[in-house]
Amino acid sequence: MKFKKKISCIFISLLLLNCSQTNNKKLPTLPNKTDIEIYKEAVSFSSKGIHKKSVIEFYKLIENYPYSKLSSHAEIMAAYSLYENNEIKKVIIKLNSFIELNPANEYTEYAHYLLAMCYYIQISKEQRDPSVTIEALNSFKTILEKYPNGKYAKDSILKIQFIENKLALNELSIGVFYLNNNAPGAAIKRFKSIIVDYKNSNLIPETLYRLYEAFLMIGLETEAKKSQALLIYNFPDSKWKKLSIDLLNSNKDDEEKGIIVSIKDYVKTIFD
């Protein structure tokens, strides 16, 4: 009996000790506001440009009311507030997670668009590293594939055109550099990649002209004529069509001059 009493005393002591430790800790307090009230306050902060506070409030809603109808909207709004606060890396992580977990959510279309914009705003003028530009291009193409008649389809088409021009310009600049440094073979690879990958770019007329120029440099007249024929047929009013014709004429003049010079040299050798 004494042994049982000792065990009971120890158990009670441990219980009291545990209670006292729990009382010393601060228990998490539930918000004294409803999900709607928190949401309104978060939106208010966002509209005033106080984005850090709006993010805190949106996540307060998500954590305390995970089953609320406003929860998924709060996630997107939190991502938007982070975007406005220029915390782009955080936005990309959160949006990718949201899209993966909510492929058919009513806000997923906007999540795709905001993700594409995260890459789009990082496109630089220098274009030294095209990886971000390619991410933006692929993201906008995903929007057109998934939501061809959606809210962001028209804007995505315009953005794709701009990005393709940007990438095509990068390839064209490198190709022209090779051309100017007497490396037409390397230039041709760059120009062909533009024709294949960015066929809707407004740089196609110049690219065809540069291809024509490069093929002539290495003596591939048949290939050169194909490029020129494509240029003349598809872009009859382009300045690059005129330049290709001028280049052809100048080449003929050079050939004729070469014949005249060689005859004169031949005559000189006879009579000298």
Task: Please tell me the distance from the alpha carbon of residue 141 to that of residue 137, in angstroms, as a whole number.
Answer: 6
State the residue range of the domain holding 252: 167-272
* 82 domain residue, yes or no: no
| Structure-model confidence comparison of residues 32 and 15, the more confident one | 32
Residue 179 has pLDDT above 50, yes or no: yes
Other CB atoms closer than 10 Å to residue 118's CB: what's the count? 22
- Which pLDDT score, from 0 to 100, does residue 199 have? 85
Q: What is the pLDDT of residues 130-167, one digit of tens each?
A: 889 999 999 999 999 999 999 999 999 999 999 999 99
Provide the sign of the torsion angle of the four alpha carbons 6, 12, 15, 21, taken in this order. Answer: negative
Encoded tokens for 242: 């005129």
Residue % of the chain over a pLDDT of 90: 62
Other CB atoms closer than 10 Å to residue 38's CB: what's the count? 22
Query: Out of 24-33, 65-74, 215-224, which region has the weakest mean confidence (pLDDT)?
Result: 24-33
Residue 171 has pLDDT above 80, yes or no: yes
Encoded tokens for 197: 């990958």
Evaluate whether 57 touches 77 at the Cβ level (below 8 Å). no
Number of folded domains in the chain?
1
Average pLDDT over residues 186-192: 95
Q: What is the CATH number of the domain that holds 185?
A: 1.25.40.10
- Which pLDDT score, from 0 to 100, does residue 237 have? 87
Q: What is the pLDDT of residues 202-242, one digit of tens each?
A: 999 999 999 999 999 999 989 998 998 998 999 888 888 88
Average pLDDT along the chain: 82
Provide the sign of the torsion angle of the four alpha carbons 85, 102, 110, 155, taken in this order. Answer: positive
3-class SS string, 10-79? HHHHHHHHHHHHHHHCCCCCCCCCCHHHHHHHHHHHHHCCCHHHHHHHHHHHHHHCCCCCCHHHHHHHHH
Average pLDDT over residues 26-43: 76
3-state secondary structure of 182: coil
- Which pLDDT score, from 0 to 100, does residue 195 have? 92
Evaluate whether 241 touches 235 at the Cβ level (below 8 Å). yes
- Which pLDDT score, from 0 to 100, does residue 270 have? 29
* 8 domain residue, yes or no: no
* 120 domain residue, yes or no: no
Residue 169 has pLDDT above 60, yes or no: yes
Report angle CA 158, 159, 164 to the nearest 5 degrees: 100
Task: Please tell me the distance from the alpha carbon of residue 107 to that of residue 200, in angstroms, as a whole number.
Answer: 31
3-state secondary structure of 238: coil
**pLDDT tier, 128 (very low <50, low <70, confident <90, very high otherwise):** low
Residue 268 has pLDDT above 90, yes or no: no
- Which pLDDT score, from 0 to 100, does residue 79 have? 96
* 85 domain residue, yes or no: no
Tell which residue, 190, 155, 166, 165, has the closest CA to residue 176: 190
